Amino acid sequence: MAIAAHHRPGLIEGHDHIHAEPQGIVAKYIFSLDAKVIGVQYMIAGLLFFVISGMLAEIIRIQLLTPGGAIISADTYNAVYSLHGSGMVWMTIIPLVTGGFGNYVMPLQIGARDVAFPWLNLLAFWMFPIAGVILFSSFLVGAPDAGWTEYPPISLQGPPGTSLWCVAIFLIGISSTLTGINFLVTIFKMRAPGMTYTRMPLFCWAQLATAMLNMVATTALAGALLALFLERQFNVPFYDPGRGGSPLLWQHMFWFYSHPAVYIMILPAFGIVSEIFPTFARKPIFGYKMIAFSSIAIALLGFMVWAHHMFTSGMAPWLQLPFMILTMVIAVPTGIKIFSWMATLWGGKIEFHPAMLFAIGFLITFTFGGITGVFLAAVPTDLHEHGTYFVVAHIHYVLFGGSMFGIFAGLYYWWPKISGRMMNYRLGVVHFWLTFLSFNVTFLPMHWLGLEGMPRRVAEYRPEFQFWNDVASIGSFVLAASTLILFYNMAQSLIRGKKAPGNPWHARTLEWTISSPPPYYNFKTIPAVLKNPYDFGEPLPYFGLDPQEDEEGDGSTFAPAPHAETAERH
C-alpha cells in the first residue's frame, strides 16, 4: 500500500491536497470557487435568459400573425428582435455551452479537481448576469433597434440603449475571454496522469477548440464595441461615413468575431453529441482522431471566412471568391464529423433515450442548416437570399436545431450527474418529439418565405406571405410550450425524482466513475488514464479510481483496468 501511495501523484503533499469544503450558503453556492457550482450558476442564469429571449421571440411571432402587424409598432418590433438575437447568442447559448457545460463537465472529464484559476472563473461568471441585466435593462431607456449585429450608421443614430448594449456585450466578451484562457490552461496543464491529447474525451477537445476561439476572437469584438461606444458617447469618428469613417469597418471587425462565434456556439454542442452517440449506441466512437482534429480545423478555418457575411455590403469584389471557397472548405471538417457520427450509430445497439433523441435530432437539423449554409456561402445564391427569411431559417437551423438541441441533449445526459436525480424518461421523449416537430413547423416554411422574397426584420409584410407566417407562428407556440415540459421535468426531478446512480448510462468518461452529484473535491485520488474512453465492451481504461458503492450491482461499472503496463504499448 505504501508503494501504491508513493506512485500516486494525488497523495504527494503540497501539490494535490484536497481543500476543505467551504461552509455557509454564500461561500458554497453564491461566490463559490468550485467549477461545478459555477457551471450550475451559468446554467441557471443562461436558462433564465433563454426564457426571456424566447418570450421576445414569441412576441415576434404574434406580431407576424397578420400582414399589418398584430400588436406592436415597427420601432418596438425592431427593439424586440434585436434583443431576442443578442439575448440568445450572448446570454443564452455561449454561456450555456462554454461556462455551463464547460465548467461542470470538462474538469471532471480530464480528471481535475477544478479549473486552473478558480478566482478568475468566479470573476468571469459574475460578469455574465450583470451583462445580462444591463442588456435587458436597455428596454427602460430605449432598446437597441439595429438587429443583433448593430450595423452602423443605424446603430450610431439608435436610442440610448444601444450604448448599454455595447457595455453588456463588452462585459460578456471579457467574461468569455477569461473563461477561454482558464479552460486552455486547465486542458493544457491539468489533465490526469496518462491522459495524452489523444486519450482526451471529445467534449474536452471541443472545449479546447472553443477556448482558443474565445480567447482570440472575443477581444477583437471588444475593440469593435469600444469604438462604437466611443463614437456614440464621445463623437469619435470610426464608423460615420460623413466624417471619414467607414460602416464597413464595423462589419469587418464584428464578423471577425461573430463568425468564429458561431463555432463557439456549435463546437461544444459537437462535443456533447460526441459523448452521447457512443454511449447510447454502445459502440466505440468512429474516427476519434478525425472528430478531434476537425474541431481544431473548424476553429482555424473559422477565422478566415468572416467576410461571407458581407457579399452584398459593397466589399471589394475580388475578395468574394476566396471567402466563398474558404467558407465551403469548412463543410469538409464538418462533414467528417457528421459522417463519423453516422458511422458510430451504424450497427449500434441504440437506446432512444431523450439525450440520444436530441443528439439524433441535432444530427438531422444541423446537417440541414449546414447545407443551407453552403447555399448562402455561394455568392450568386447569396445575392438572392441575403437579408431574407432564408437567412433567418438558416441561422435557426444551426443555432436552435444545432446548439440548443445540443444543450437539451447535454441537459438530459448530465442532469443525473449534476442533480443526483433522474429525469422522467417519458416526459423527455414527449419533449423531444414536440420540440423536433414544432421546430420544423416553425422554421422550415421560412426557407420558402425567404426564397419568395420576404425580407427579414420587418414588422409588416405583403399579404401573400401570411399563410406560411401563420404556420410558423403556430409552430413557435408549440415550441415554447414544449420547452415548458423540460422545465417541468427538471422541477419534478428535483422534488421527487429517483436517486441517480453514479453511472446511469454505463458511460465511460471519468465524470461517471464518481458519485452523483460528485463530491466537492471530485476525485480523492486522481486516476491514471490508459486509453481513450470510447472502447465499449472493454474494462474501463483507468487506474486508481476512487472506490464507489456499486449501486447497480453489475460489477462492471467501476471495474479497474487490468494491466497498467498495457498502457505502455499505446
Partner 1 sequence: MAVSSLNSSHEAVAARYESVDEVYRYTRDMRLLGFVLFLVSDVVLFSAFIFAYLYLRNSVPNWPPITKSGQQLPRFDVAFAAINSCALFGSGATMHFAMESWKHLNRSAFNLWMIATIVLGIAFLCGQGYEYQHVAISWSGSTMGATFFTLTGMHGFHVFIGIIYLITLFIQANSGVYTGSKYFGLTAGTLYWHFVDVIWVALFYLFYLM
| Residues at the site binding partner 1, with contacts judged by CB under 8 A | 6-9, 12, 14-16, 116-117, 120, 177, 180-182, 184-185, 188-191, 193-194, 196-197, 215-220, 222-224, 226-227, 230-231, 234-238, 243-246, 249, 252-253, 256, 528, 530, 543-544, 564, 567-568, 570
Q: What is the C-alpha to C-alpha distance for residues 121 and 178, in angstroms, rounded to an integer?
A: 7
Is the preceding peptide bond at 153 cis, omega within 30 degrees of 0? yes
Contact 301, 209 (CB under 8 A): no
Q: What is the C-alpha to C-alpha distance for residues 247 and 79, in angstroms, rounded to an integer?
A: 21
Q: What is the C-alpha to C-alpha distance for residues 538 and 506, in angstroms, rounded to an integer?
A: 12
Which is nearer to partner 1, 244 or 555 (by Cβ)? 244
Name residue, grid cell 474512453. Answer: 533
Give the nearest distance from C-beta 10 to partner 1 in angstroms.
9
Give the nearest distance from C-beta 467 to partner 1 in angstroms.
45
Give the nearest distance from C-beta 169 to partner 1 in angstroms.
14
Give the nearest distance from C-beta 94 to partner 1 in angstroms.
16
Residue 569 amino acid letter: R
Q: What is the C-alpha to C-alpha distance for residues 542 and 533, in angstroms, rounded to an integer?
A: 9
Which is nearer to partner 1, 182 or 327 (by Cβ)? 182
| Three-class secondary structure of residue 528 per DSSP | strand
Give the nearest distance from C-beta 199 to partner 1 in angstroms.
8
Name residue, grid cell 455561394. Answer: 378
Give the nearest distance from C-beta 324 to partner 1 in angstroms.
22
**C-alpha distances in angstroms, 137 versus 50, 128, 176?**
16, 14, 21
Which is nearer to partner 1, 183 or 286 (by Cβ)? 183
| Three-class secondary structure of residue 235 per DSSP | coil
Which is nearer to partner 1, 249 or 336 (by Cβ)? 249
- Give the CA dihedral 326, 205, 117, 11, nearest 10 degrees: -160
DSSP per residue, 454-469:
PBSS-S---GGGHHHH
Which is nearer to partner 1, 210 or 483 (by Cβ)? 210
Which is nearer to partner 1, 114 or 385 (by Cβ)? 114
DSSP per residue, 357-389:
HHHHHHHHHHHHHHHHHHHHHSHHHHHHHTTBH
Rg (CA), the chain: 24
Which is nearer to partner 1, 154 or 230 (by Cβ)? 230
Give the nearest distance from C-beta 184 to partner 1 in angstroms.
6
Which is nearer to partner 1, 257 or 341 (by Cβ)? 257
Give the nearest distance from C-beta 102 to partner 1 in angstroms.
16
**C-alpha distances in angstroms, 397 versus 125, 302, 390, 466, 567?**
28, 19, 11, 21, 43
Contact 265, 89 (CB under 8 A): yes
Residue 144 amino acid letter: P
- Its sign, for the CA torsion 53, 54, 57, 62, is negative
Which is nearer to partner 1, 175 or 493 (by Cβ)? 175
Q: What is the C-alpha to C-alpha distance for residues 407 and 97, in angstroms, rounded to an integer?
A: 7
Which is nearer to partner 1, 249 or 338 (by Cβ)? 249
Give the nearest distance from C-beta 386 to partner 1 in angstroms.
22
Give the nearest distance from C-beta 123 to partner 1 in angstroms.
13
Helices (H) and strands (E) in the chain, counts: 19, 2
Give the nearest distance from C-beta 267 to partner 1 in angstroms.
18
Give the nearest distance from C-beta 243 to partner 1 in angstroms.
7
Q: Is 428 exposed, middle or buried (0-12, 13-18, 19+ CB in 10 A)?
A: buried
Which is nearer to partner 1, 185 or 343 (by Cβ)? 185
* Alpha helices per DSSP H over 110-201: 118-141, 154-157, 161-189
Which is nearer to partner 1, 54 or 544 (by Cβ)? 544
**C-alpha distances in angstroms, 8 versus 3, 200, 299, 448, 528?**
9, 20, 36, 62, 9
Which is nearer to partner 1, 157 or 235 (by Cβ)? 235
Contact 164, 134 (CB under 8 A): yes
Give the nearest distance from C-beta 16 to partner 1 in angstroms.
8
Instruction: Output DSSP code: residue 309.
Output: G
Cell of 440: 420544423
Name residue, grid cell 422554421. Answer: 443
Which is nearer to partner 1, 253 or 459 (by Cβ)? 253
Give the nearest distance from C-beta 125 to partner 1 in angstroms.
17
Name residue, grid cell 452584398. Answer: 312
